[in-house]
Amino acid sequence: MISTLTVELGERSYPILVGSDLLRDTTRLSSFVSGRQVCIVTNETVAALYLETLRNTFAGFAVDACVLPDGEQYKTLATYGTLIDHLMANRHARTTTLVALGGGVIGDITGFAAATYQRGVAFIQVPTTLLALVDSSVGGKTAVNHPSGKNMIGAFYQPRAVIADLETLRTLPQREYLAGIAEVVKYGVIRDAEFFAWLEHNVAALLARDRDALNHAVITSCRIKAAVVGADEREDGVRAILNFGHTFGHAIETLTRYEYLHGESISIGMVMAADTSKRCGMLGAGTAHRIKALLAAFGLPVVPPGNLTAAALRGAMGVDKKVVDGRIRLVLTHGLGDAVVTDRFDPAALEATLTAGGRLCED
Protein backbone atom coordinates (compact mmCIF):
# COMPACT_ATOMS: atom_id res chain seq x y z
CA MET A 1 0.00 0.00 0.00
CA ILE A 2 1.27 3.46 -0.95
CA SER A 3 0.20 6.58 0.93
CA THR A 4 0.35 9.90 -0.89
CA LEU A 5 0.62 13.28 0.83
CA THR A 6 0.94 16.61 -0.94
CA VAL A 7 3.03 19.65 -0.12
CA GLU A 8 0.65 22.38 -1.29
CA LEU A 9 2.68 25.17 -2.89
CA GLY A 10 0.63 26.13 -5.91
CA GLU A 11 2.50 25.39 -9.14
CA ARG A 12 5.41 24.02 -7.10
CA SER A 13 3.27 21.47 -5.24
CA TYR A 14 4.63 17.95 -5.11
CA PRO A 15 3.78 14.55 -3.65
CA ILE A 16 5.34 12.59 -0.81
CA LEU A 17 4.94 8.88 -1.54
CA VAL A 18 5.29 6.55 1.44
CA GLY A 19 5.34 2.78 0.96
CA SER A 20 7.48 -0.31 0.40
CA ASP A 21 9.64 -1.28 -2.60
CA LEU A 22 9.18 2.11 -4.24
CA LEU A 23 12.81 2.08 -5.41
CA ARG A 24 11.83 -0.61 -7.92
CA ASP A 25 8.70 1.17 -9.17
CA THR A 26 9.92 2.19 -12.63
CA THR A 27 6.65 3.68 -13.84
CA ARG A 28 6.10 5.82 -10.77
CA LEU A 29 9.65 7.15 -10.43
CA SER A 30 10.06 7.79 -14.16
CA SER A 31 7.02 10.06 -14.13
CA PHE A 32 8.98 12.63 -12.13
CA VAL A 33 11.98 12.78 -14.50
CA SER A 34 12.27 15.98 -16.51
CA GLY A 35 14.23 14.93 -19.61
CA ARG A 36 16.34 11.96 -20.68
CA GLN A 37 19.31 12.47 -18.35
CA VAL A 38 19.40 11.27 -14.75
CA CYS A 39 22.22 11.73 -12.26
CA ILE A 40 21.92 9.66 -9.10
CA VAL A 41 23.74 11.37 -6.25
CA THR A 42 24.56 9.16 -3.29
CA ASN A 43 27.31 8.33 -0.80
CA GLU A 44 29.68 5.39 -0.47
CA THR A 45 27.58 3.62 2.17
CA VAL A 46 24.21 3.88 0.42
CA ALA A 47 25.69 3.16 -3.01
CA ALA A 48 26.67 -0.33 -1.88
CA LEU A 49 23.06 -1.01 -0.86
CA TYR A 50 20.76 0.69 -3.36
CA LEU A 51 22.60 2.30 -6.27
CA GLU A 52 22.26 -0.63 -8.69
CA THR A 53 18.58 -1.00 -7.81
CA LEU A 54 17.94 2.60 -8.71
CA ARG A 55 20.10 2.38 -11.85
CA ASN A 56 17.88 -0.47 -13.03
CA THR A 57 14.73 1.48 -12.20
CA PHE A 58 15.92 4.32 -14.45
CA ALA A 59 17.27 1.95 -17.12
CA GLY A 60 15.34 3.72 -19.88
CA PHE A 61 17.26 6.96 -19.29
CA ALA A 62 20.84 8.11 -19.73
CA VAL A 63 21.96 7.41 -16.16
CA ASP A 64 25.19 8.19 -14.36
CA ALA A 65 26.05 8.38 -10.68
CA CYS A 66 28.09 10.69 -8.47
CA VAL A 67 29.20 8.89 -5.31
CA LEU A 68 30.25 11.28 -2.54
CA PRO A 69 31.94 10.55 0.81
CA ASP A 70 29.65 9.75 3.74
CA GLY A 71 29.31 12.06 6.73
CA GLU A 72 28.19 15.49 7.93
CA GLN A 73 31.82 16.67 7.79
CA TYR A 74 31.57 16.45 3.99
CA LYS A 75 28.55 18.75 3.73
CA THR A 76 30.77 21.51 2.38
CA LEU A 77 31.25 23.79 -0.60
CA ALA A 78 34.11 21.51 -1.68
CA THR A 79 31.80 18.48 -1.92
CA TYR A 80 29.17 20.60 -3.66
CA GLY A 81 31.92 21.56 -6.13
CA THR A 82 32.70 17.89 -6.73
CA LEU A 83 29.08 17.30 -7.71
CA ILE A 84 29.03 20.34 -10.02
CA ASP A 85 32.28 19.10 -11.62
CA HIS A 86 30.62 15.72 -12.21
CA LEU A 87 27.59 17.32 -13.88
CA MET A 88 29.83 19.41 -16.12
CA ALA A 89 32.08 16.47 -17.04
CA ASN A 90 29.06 14.35 -17.97
CA ARG A 91 27.48 17.22 -19.92
CA HIS A 92 24.23 17.40 -18.03
CA ALA A 93 21.81 19.82 -19.66
CA ARG A 94 19.12 22.06 -18.14
CA THR A 95 16.61 19.24 -18.68
CA THR A 96 18.50 16.82 -16.46
CA THR A 97 17.06 15.38 -13.24
CA LEU A 98 19.15 14.83 -10.12
CA VAL A 99 18.10 12.04 -7.76
CA ALA A 100 19.20 12.38 -4.14
CA LEU A 101 19.63 8.82 -2.82
CA GLY A 102 20.69 8.95 0.82
CA GLY A 103 20.26 10.83 4.07
CA GLY A 104 20.01 14.49 4.90
CA VAL A 105 23.54 15.39 3.79
CA ILE A 106 23.02 13.93 0.31
CA GLY A 107 19.57 15.47 0.04
CA ASP A 108 20.82 18.93 1.04
CA ILE A 109 23.87 18.91 -1.26
CA THR A 110 21.90 17.52 -4.20
CA GLY A 111 19.12 20.05 -3.70
CA PHE A 112 21.60 22.93 -3.52
CA ALA A 113 23.31 21.71 -6.70
CA ALA A 114 19.92 21.39 -8.42
CA ALA A 115 19.00 24.93 -7.36
CA THR A 116 22.19 26.41 -8.79
CA TYR A 117 23.32 24.21 -11.72
CA GLN A 118 22.44 26.11 -14.90
CA ARG A 119 20.16 28.28 -12.73
CA GLY A 120 18.01 25.35 -11.67
CA VAL A 121 17.29 21.76 -12.72
CA ALA A 122 14.79 19.19 -11.50
CA PHE A 123 15.51 16.87 -8.59
CA ILE A 124 13.85 14.04 -6.71
CA GLN A 125 14.37 13.20 -3.05
CA VAL A 126 14.81 9.48 -2.27
CA PRO A 127 15.62 9.50 1.47
CA THR A 128 17.17 6.37 2.98
CA THR A 129 17.34 7.46 6.62
CA LEU A 130 14.45 8.05 8.99
CA LEU A 131 15.64 11.57 9.75
CA ALA A 132 15.76 12.53 6.07
CA LEU A 133 12.46 10.80 5.39
CA VAL A 134 10.46 12.69 8.04
CA ASP A 135 12.34 15.98 7.95
CA SER A 136 15.07 17.17 5.60
CA SER A 137 13.69 15.67 2.36
CA VAL A 138 10.42 17.59 2.73
CA GLY A 139 10.20 21.36 2.38
CA GLY A 140 12.87 22.47 -0.07
CA LYS A 141 15.59 23.58 2.32
CA THR A 142 18.94 22.92 0.65
CA ALA A 143 22.34 23.90 1.99
CA VAL A 144 25.92 23.16 2.87
CA ASN A 145 27.71 24.04 6.08
CA HIS A 146 30.26 26.76 6.78
CA PRO A 147 32.99 26.09 9.37
CA SER A 148 31.38 28.71 11.63
CA GLY A 149 27.81 27.48 11.33
CA LYS A 150 25.47 24.81 9.98
CA ASN A 151 23.43 25.29 6.79
CA MET A 152 24.61 28.86 6.30
CA ILE A 153 24.99 28.54 2.49
CA GLY A 154 21.95 27.36 0.58
CA ALA A 155 18.62 28.02 -1.10
CA PHE A 156 14.93 27.21 -0.87
CA TYR A 157 14.31 24.85 -3.80
CA GLN A 158 11.52 22.30 -3.95
CA PRO A 159 11.91 18.75 -5.33
CA ARG A 160 9.63 17.18 -7.94
CA ALA A 161 8.71 14.45 -5.45
CA VAL A 162 9.77 12.71 -2.25
CA ILE A 163 9.92 8.94 -2.61
CA ALA A 164 9.92 7.40 0.88
CA ASP A 165 10.62 3.68 0.61
CA LEU A 166 10.24 2.27 4.13
CA GLU A 167 12.23 -0.83 3.20
CA THR A 168 15.42 1.26 3.18
CA LEU A 169 15.02 1.71 6.93
CA ARG A 170 15.61 -2.03 7.44
CA THR A 171 19.32 -1.59 6.66
CA LEU A 172 19.72 1.61 8.69
CA PRO A 173 22.15 1.26 11.63
CA GLN A 174 20.41 1.55 14.99
CA ARG A 175 22.18 4.75 15.98
CA GLU A 176 21.03 6.51 12.80
CA TYR A 177 17.52 5.12 13.15
CA LEU A 178 17.23 6.51 16.68
CA ALA A 179 18.60 9.86 15.51
CA GLY A 180 15.62 10.00 13.15
CA ILE A 181 13.24 9.24 16.00
CA ALA A 182 14.29 12.54 17.59
CA GLU A 183 12.72 14.47 14.70
CA VAL A 184 9.57 12.33 14.98
CA VAL A 185 9.26 13.29 18.66
CA LYS A 186 9.70 16.93 17.65
CA TYR A 187 6.48 16.87 15.64
CA GLY A 188 4.52 15.75 18.67
CA VAL A 189 6.01 18.53 20.78
CA ILE A 190 5.42 21.37 18.34
CA ARG A 191 2.12 20.45 16.71
CA ASP A 192 0.31 17.34 17.97
CA ALA A 193 -0.15 16.42 21.63
CA GLU A 194 -2.10 13.26 20.72
CA PHE A 195 0.77 12.08 18.54
CA PHE A 196 3.20 12.71 21.40
CA ALA A 197 1.06 10.55 23.69
CA TRP A 198 0.91 7.86 20.97
CA LEU A 199 4.71 7.88 20.83
CA GLU A 200 4.89 7.43 24.61
CA HIS A 201 2.75 4.29 24.28
CA ASN A 202 4.60 2.89 21.26
CA VAL A 203 8.26 3.16 22.25
CA ALA A 204 8.77 -0.61 22.18
CA ALA A 205 7.07 -1.01 18.78
CA LEU A 206 9.14 1.74 17.22
CA LEU A 207 12.37 0.42 18.72
CA ALA A 208 11.51 -2.93 17.12
CA ARG A 209 10.80 -1.13 13.81
CA ASP A 210 7.30 -2.57 13.74
CA ARG A 211 5.94 -1.94 10.24
CA ASP A 212 2.55 -0.55 11.27
CA ALA A 213 3.97 1.69 14.00
CA LEU A 214 6.70 2.99 11.73
CA ASN A 215 4.25 3.66 8.92
CA HIS A 216 2.01 5.68 11.27
CA ALA A 217 4.95 7.64 12.69
CA VAL A 218 6.32 8.49 9.24
CA ILE A 219 3.00 9.49 7.69
CA THR A 220 2.01 11.62 10.69
CA SER A 221 5.39 13.37 10.72
CA CYS A 222 5.30 14.04 6.97
CA ARG A 223 1.71 15.29 7.19
CA ILE A 224 2.68 17.81 9.87
CA LYS A 225 5.79 18.92 7.96
CA ALA A 226 3.85 19.27 4.69
CA ALA A 227 1.14 21.37 6.35
CA VAL A 228 3.65 23.73 7.97
CA VAL A 229 5.70 24.13 4.78
CA GLY A 230 2.53 24.71 2.75
CA ALA A 231 1.60 27.55 5.10
CA ASP A 232 5.06 29.16 5.13
CA GLU A 233 7.47 28.00 2.42
CA ARG A 234 10.35 30.36 3.13
CA GLU A 235 10.26 30.39 6.92
CA ASP A 236 8.90 33.89 7.28
CA GLY A 237 6.60 32.83 10.11
CA VAL A 238 5.17 29.55 11.40
CA ARG A 239 7.69 27.29 9.63
CA ALA A 240 10.34 28.31 12.15
CA ILE A 241 8.61 26.13 14.77
CA LEU A 242 10.10 23.16 12.89
CA ASN A 243 13.42 24.30 14.37
CA PHE A 244 12.40 23.41 17.94
CA GLY A 245 15.65 22.45 19.67
CA HIS A 246 17.71 23.28 16.59
CA THR A 247 19.38 26.50 17.78
CA PHE A 248 20.82 24.58 20.73
CA GLY A 249 21.42 21.45 18.65
CA HIS A 250 23.24 23.17 15.80
CA ALA A 251 25.52 24.84 18.34
CA ILE A 252 26.38 21.43 19.78
CA GLU A 253 27.07 20.04 16.32
CA THR A 254 29.37 22.93 15.42
CA LEU A 255 31.27 22.92 18.72
CA THR A 256 31.80 19.14 18.73
CA ARG A 257 32.70 19.07 15.02
CA TYR A 258 29.75 16.78 14.35
CA GLU A 259 30.75 14.13 16.88
CA TYR A 260 27.01 13.78 17.49
CA LEU A 261 24.59 12.83 14.72
CA HIS A 262 22.13 15.58 13.81
CA GLY A 263 19.21 13.87 15.52
CA GLU A 264 21.27 13.26 18.66
CA SER A 265 22.15 16.95 18.86
CA ILE A 266 18.52 17.91 18.25
CA SER A 267 17.42 15.54 21.03
CA ILE A 268 19.66 17.42 23.47
CA GLY A 269 18.55 20.71 21.97
CA MET A 270 14.86 19.89 22.47
CA VAL A 271 15.46 19.13 26.14
CA MET A 272 17.32 22.42 26.47
CA ALA A 273 14.46 24.26 24.72
CA ALA A 274 11.94 22.58 27.02
CA ASP A 275 14.07 23.52 30.02
CA THR A 276 14.27 27.15 28.90
CA SER A 277 10.50 27.16 28.34
CA LYS A 278 10.03 25.87 31.88
CA ARG A 279 12.40 28.43 33.37
CA CYS A 280 10.54 31.20 31.50
CA GLY A 281 7.29 30.09 33.12
CA MET A 282 5.80 28.94 29.81
CA LEU A 283 5.90 25.18 30.33
CA GLY A 284 4.96 23.07 33.31
CA ALA A 285 7.71 21.00 34.92
CA GLY A 286 5.72 17.80 34.34
CA THR A 287 5.51 18.35 30.59
CA ALA A 288 9.16 19.32 30.36
CA HIS A 289 10.05 16.09 32.12
CA ARG A 290 7.81 14.09 29.73
CA ILE A 291 9.74 15.45 26.75
CA LYS A 292 13.06 14.50 28.28
CA ALA A 293 11.78 11.10 29.44
CA LEU A 294 10.43 10.16 26.00
CA LEU A 295 13.69 10.99 24.26
CA ALA A 296 15.62 9.05 26.93
CA ALA A 297 13.26 6.08 26.48
CA PHE A 298 14.37 5.89 22.86
CA GLY A 299 17.99 5.81 23.99
CA LEU A 300 18.76 9.31 22.76
CA PRO A 301 21.16 11.68 24.56
CA VAL A 302 19.38 14.30 26.68
CA VAL A 303 22.21 16.36 28.22
CA PRO A 304 24.92 18.41 26.47
CA PRO A 305 28.55 17.31 26.52
CA GLY A 306 30.14 18.23 29.83
CA ASN A 307 33.06 20.02 28.19
CA LEU A 308 30.86 22.65 26.51
CA THR A 309 30.72 25.85 28.52
CA ALA A 310 27.76 28.20 28.63
CA ALA A 311 29.90 30.85 26.94
CA ALA A 312 30.83 28.52 24.07
CA LEU A 313 27.21 27.47 23.55
CA ARG A 314 26.00 31.06 23.69
CA GLY A 315 28.60 32.12 21.13
CA ALA A 316 27.75 29.31 18.72
CA MET A 317 24.03 30.03 19.07
CA GLY A 318 24.74 33.57 17.89
CA VAL A 319 25.71 32.20 14.48
CA ASP A 320 22.25 30.95 13.60
CA LYS A 321 19.89 31.70 10.72
CA LYS A 322 17.17 32.71 13.17
CA VAL A 323 19.26 35.55 14.63
CA VAL A 324 17.65 38.89 13.66
CA ASP A 325 19.39 42.23 14.26
CA GLY A 326 21.76 40.55 16.68
CA ARG A 327 18.98 39.00 18.78
CA ILE A 328 18.77 35.23 19.21
CA ARG A 329 15.30 33.86 18.51
CA LEU A 330 14.32 30.58 20.13
CA VAL A 331 11.56 28.11 19.46
CA LEU A 332 9.94 27.55 22.85
CA THR A 333 6.71 25.86 23.87
CA HIS A 334 3.69 26.65 26.03
CA GLY A 335 2.77 22.97 26.03
CA LEU A 336 2.61 19.95 23.76
CA GLY A 337 1.40 21.11 20.35
CA ASP A 338 1.89 24.79 21.13
CA ALA A 339 5.33 25.96 19.99
CA VAL A 340 6.23 29.60 19.39
CA VAL A 341 9.17 31.52 17.93
CA THR A 342 10.30 34.40 20.10
CA ASP A 343 13.14 36.72 20.99
CA ARG A 344 11.22 37.86 24.07
CA PHE A 345 12.52 35.39 26.59
CA ASP A 346 14.23 35.90 29.93
CA PRO A 347 18.02 35.96 29.30
CA ALA A 348 18.53 34.62 32.82
CA ALA A 349 16.40 31.59 31.97
CA LEU A 350 18.52 30.85 28.89
CA GLU A 351 21.71 31.28 30.91
CA ALA A 352 20.41 28.88 33.56
CA THR A 353 19.70 26.28 30.88
CA LEU A 354 23.15 26.68 29.34
CA THR A 355 24.79 26.04 32.72
CA ALA A 356 22.38 23.35 33.97
CA GLY A 357 24.12 20.31 32.45
CA GLY A 358 22.43 17.10 33.57
CA ARG A 359 19.84 18.99 35.64
CA LEU A 360 17.79 19.92 32.58
CA CYS A 361 14.03 19.61 33.10
CA GLU A 362 14.59 18.11 36.52
CA ASP A 363 14.46 20.93 39.08
* 250 is annotated as an active-site residue: yes
Q: Are strands 14-19 and 3-7 parallel, antiparallel or unpaired?
A: antiparallel
* 239 is annotated as an active-site residue: yes
> Rounded CA gap, 129 and 133, in Å?
6
Residue from 235, 278, 290, 321 carrying the catalytic annotation: 235
Residue from 11, 91, 119, 307 carrying the catalytic annotation: 119
* 119 is annotated as an active-site residue: yes
Residue from 72, 160, 176, 183 carrying the catalytic annotation: 183
* 225 is annotated as an active-site residue: yes
Q: What is the side-by-side strand order in the sheet with 14-19?
A: 3-7, 14-19, 162-165, 122-127, 97-102, 37-43, 62-68
Residue from 86, 92, 191, 225 carrying the catalytic annotation: 225
* 262 is annotated as an active-site residue: yes
Element of type H or E holding 45:
helix 44-46
Q: DSSP of 46-95, one letter per residue?
A: HIIIIIHHHHHHTTTSEEEEEEEPPSGGG-SHHHHHHHHHHHHHTT--TT
Cβ count near 170 (within 10 Å):
10
Residue from 75, 86, 160, 250 carrying the catalytic annotation: 250
Torsions phi, psi of 42, nearest 5? -150, -175
> Rounded CA gap, 65 and 52, in Å?
10
* 183 is annotated as an active-site residue: yes
Element of type H or E holding 105:
helix 104-116
3-class state of residue 326 by DSSP: coil
For residue 1, count CB atoms less than 10 angstroms from its CB and return exposed for 0-12, middle for 13-18, buried for 19 or more.
exposed
**DSSP code for 236:** S
Residues annotated as catalytic (active site), given as ranges = 119, 141, 183, 225, 235, 239, 243, 246, 250, 262
